[in-house]
Amino acid sequence: MAKQKSVYSCTSCGAQASKWAGQCGDCGAWNTLQEAVAQAVSDHPRFSGYSGDVTTIRAEPLINLEEEPETRVSTGVGELDRVLGGGLVPGSVTLIGGDPGIGKSTLLTQTLAALSQRLPTLYVSGEESRRQVGLRARRLNLPVDKLKLLTETGVERMIKVAQQEMPRVMAVDSIQTVYTGILQSAPGSVAQVRESAAQLVRFAKQTNTAMFLIGHVTKDGTLAGPRVLEHMVDTVLYFEGDPGSRYRIIRAIKNRFGAVNELGVFAMTDKGLREVTNPSAIFLSRHEKPVPGSIIMVTREGSRPMLVEVQALVDESHLNNPRRVTLGHEQNRLAMLLAVLHRHAGVAMYDHDVFVNVVGGVRVSETAADLPVLRAILSSYRDRALPEDMVAFGEVGLAGEIRPVPNGEERLNEAAKHGFKRAIVPRGNSPAKGRIGDMKVIAVQRLDEAIEQVW
Ligand code: TYD
Ligand code: MG
């Protein structure tokens, strides 16, 4: 076989060069040239040229598709099925990302061991030895008599073995350790990760194998290999969670077969990851008595409501640029909320540092957090605690209006179920009766109204 030629391609603009250089000659970006395989378009596996007989090919109305029953395979782990959109789809490729030590290998060992009882499965480890994987499986009491393990990092050999074994479900731990002989660059480099993943994706699609790829996350929180992998796979799942806390959240960032932002919740125990099927209130920390700067919000990530505590600390600042620090919440959103607070409620914080934290390592990305965040900030600023039995949610607009959020009633029911007695919500989310069970619902329309309520 003729040796494949490599070229250098700019990760920023896509221009190609025959030699490596520090700066891209086309767009001028620095350090963006990466080695890649040179491939004439006509060599590309998906290119069949225009020369063949095209009379038999035609576009058809979408409605003419044959009814095919959906063939999802349950992983046996309910929370994982949930984030996948109801189970594994044969031929799909799922990328699982997360910090080192968060539990990616544990989850996949557990899942594949359970699946191996029903389907042929193959676990490929490029990071741990046979012994390490085996010891972990034994400690977790997993049924491993049928689970096949391969320790290998060369993608061509990996695929050869997989072609013999014909697994229905296969996992590769991790994609950063895999390399292809075509390229000279080191394993873990962008070109290697992309090319190896492309080969694995092609294998999954051709053989209808469900494939899991584990990916490491870089320091700035993205999957190594500037997002190239996210485009190639069908589903991207991220592990979230505090290193200190035992709870782990898996979130679907992209899903061609289901809803995004769906959450699966697990707890790390000495017997591996255990599902948390009713996670609604695990992120509440109970204080002995009410403390300033804390409020409970009802968030709805994915398809179920969850109660989480939002904390704020406002402190006098001696910096020219006071600090705006958020954990689990968006920093730009905080800056915007503080501006709204100043303009529409007359509370200025330009000489204060503001810290916002969502307890338990949860990341809240929805706008329903606006109102709780502002109330927590004000509570800390005024050093006055909010009632403990109160929840809040609502979006705050730039004009100082409180806007309704989706699924208000469901959120209120969840709060009432957990014994909360007061809820501050947008008028559009308030039930006609003004209460749900024992819980009084206070509807607000403007920010100044919202911050005066039950103080
Ligand atoms: P691991 O799955 O190896 O993480 P990753 O593959 O994402 O890097 O998880 C390792 C961590 O999980 C390690 O810190 C120990 C902890 N752990 C438990 O607490 N209980 C267990 O049963 C297992 C297997 C791991
Ligand atoms: Mg691992």
pLDDT tens track for 163-214: 999 999 999 998 989 999 888 888 877 788 889 999 999 999 999 999 999 9
**What's the rounded Cα separation, in Å, for the pair 442 and 371?**
13
What is the three-class DSSP state of 84?
helix
pLDDT at 406: 93
Minimum CA distance residue for ligand 1 atom 2? 103
- Kindly give the distance from the C-alpha atom of residue 101 to the centroid of ligand 1, in angstroms, as a whole number: 5
pLDDT at 331 over 60: yes
Structure tokens at 165: 């074994």
- The closest-lying atom of ligand 1 relative to the alpha carbon of residue 127 is 6
pLDDT of 332 strictly over 90: yes
What are the beta bridge partners of residue 23?
30
Whose alpha carbon is nearest atom 24 of ligand 1?
Answer: 272
Q: How far is the CA of 311 from the centre of ligand 2 (A)?
A: 32
Distance, CA 103 to ligand 1 centroid (Å)? 5
The protein residue whose alpha carbon is closest to atom 13 in ligand 1 is 101
For ligand 1, atom 11, name the residue with the nearest CA.
101
Mutation choice for ligand 1 from 216, 268, 273, CB with most ligand atoms inside 8 A: 268
Q: Cα–Cα distance between 184 and 216 in angstroms, integer?
A: 21
The mean-pLDDT minimum among 35-44, 98-107, 366-375 falls in 35-44
| Residues in CB range of 118: below 8 A, 6 or more apart | none
Helix (H) or strand (E) holding 106: helix 104-116
* Residue entry with tokens 């040796």: 3
**pLDDT value for 226:** 45
Tokens, residue 437: 């069970």
In this structure, which amino acid lies at residue 371?
L
CATH 3.30.230.10 is the classification of domain 282-452: yes
Chain Cα centroid distance, residue 325: 21
In the numeric block, which tokens belong to residue 64?
């003419």
Contact call for residues 240 and 328 (beta carbons, < 8 A): no
E strands, 227-337, where? Answer: 235-240, 247-255, 263-269, 272-275, 294-301, 304-316, 324-327
Q: Which helix (H) or strand (E) holds 355?
A: strand 352-358
Please state the atom number of ligand 1 nearest to the C-alpha of residue 99.
Answer: 7
* Phi/psi of residue 64, nearest 5 degrees: -75, 0
Q: Helices in 118-218 by DSSP H: which ranges?
A: 130-139, 155-165, 190-207
In the reported structure, the alpha carbon of residue 130 is separated from the centroid of ligand 1 by a whole-number distance in angstroms of 16
Rounded to the nearest angstrom, the distance between the alpha carbon of 34 and the centre of ligand 2 is 27
Exposure string (b/e) for 1-14, b if CB count within 10 Å is 16 or more?
eeeeebbbbbbbee
Q: Count of residues for the chain?
A: 455
The encoded tokens of residue 418 equal 């957990």
CA of 196 to the centre of ligand 2 (A): 18
Distance 355 CA to ligand 2 centre (A): 33
Give, using CA atoms, the residue closest to atom 14 of ligand 1: 101
Please report where in the chains the tokens 């480099």 appear, as a residue. Answer: 189
How big is the CA angle at 213 (ends 33 and 274), to the nearest 5 degrees? 140
For residue 65, give both structure tokens. Answer: 């598709």
CA of 99 to the centre of ligand 2 (A): 9
**Which ligand is closest to the CA of 125, given by its number?**
2
Higher pLDDT, 272 or 282: 272
Ligand 1, atom 8: closest residue by C-alpha:
101
Q: What is the pLDDT of residue 165?
A: 92
The ligand 1 site (C-beta within 6 Å) comprises: 98, 100-106, 136, 140, 268, 270-272
- Please return the burial class of 15, using the count of CB atoms within 10 Å of its CB with bins 0-12, 13-18 and 19+: middle
Class of domain 78-277: alpha beta
Closest of 78, 143, 81, 150 to residue 112, by C-alpha: 143
Q: pTM for this structure?
A: 0.76
- Asked if residue 136 has pLDDT above 70, the reply is yes
8 A C-beta contact, residue 414 and residue 298: yes
| 186 phi and psi angles, rounded to 5 deg | -70, 150
| Cross-strand pairs, 34 | 9
**What are the C-alpha distances in Å from 318 to residues 21, 322, 353, 376?**
45, 7, 9, 22
Which residue's CA is minimally distant from atom 25 of ligand 1?
272
Residue 68: predicted pLDDT: 65
Give how far the C-alpha of residue 249 lies from the chain's centroid of Cα atoms, to the nearest Å: 8
Ligand 2: distance of its center to the CA of 217 in Å? 12
Q: For atom 17 of ligand 1, which residue has the closest CA?
A: 272
Q: Please report the pLDDT score of residue 39 as a whole number.
A: 63
Ligand nearest to the CA of 108: 1
Distance between CA atoms of residues 151 and 135, nearest Å? 15
Do residues 391 and 298 touch, judged by C-beta distance below 8 A? yes
Which helix (H) or strand (E) element contains residue 402? strand 402-403
SS3 assignment, position 338: helix
Alpha-carbon gap, residue 237 to 212, rounded angstroms: 10
Greater confidence (50 vs 171) lies with 171
Q: Hey, where are the domains in the chain?
A: 1-47, 78-277, 282-452
